[in-house]
């Protein structure tokens, strides 16, 4: 996984956690839901990057 992709996913996850916490504290269901959605999207992207890395590792194994 590229460093920039990993960093972007971490930032998106952190923003999501912040939104979720602010939503809970302010009794704002919409903001809380947005935060959870941001976190889920970051997790999904992270899983996709890890899958791409695994495929690359398999390809590299065949080259050696």
Cα distance between residue 24 and residue 22, in whole Å? 5
Q: Find the mean pLDDT for residues 31-43.
A: 97
Q: What's the mean pLDDT in 38-50?
A: 94
pLDDT of 40 > 90? The answer is: yes
From CA 48, how far away is CA 45, in angstroms rounded? 5
The Cα 49–Cα 7 span in angstroms is 12
Report field, pTM of the whole predicted structure over 0.85: no
**pLDDT of 19 over the 90 cut:** yes
């Amino acid at each position: 996984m590229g460093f920039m992709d990993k960093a972007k996913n971490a930032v998106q996850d952190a923003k999501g956690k912040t939104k979720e916490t602010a939503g809970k504290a302010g009794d704002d269901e919409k903001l809380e839901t947005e935060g959870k959605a941001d976190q889920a999207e970051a997790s999904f992207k992270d899983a996709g990057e890890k899958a791409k890395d695994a495929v690359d590792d398999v390809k590299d194994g065949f080259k050696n």
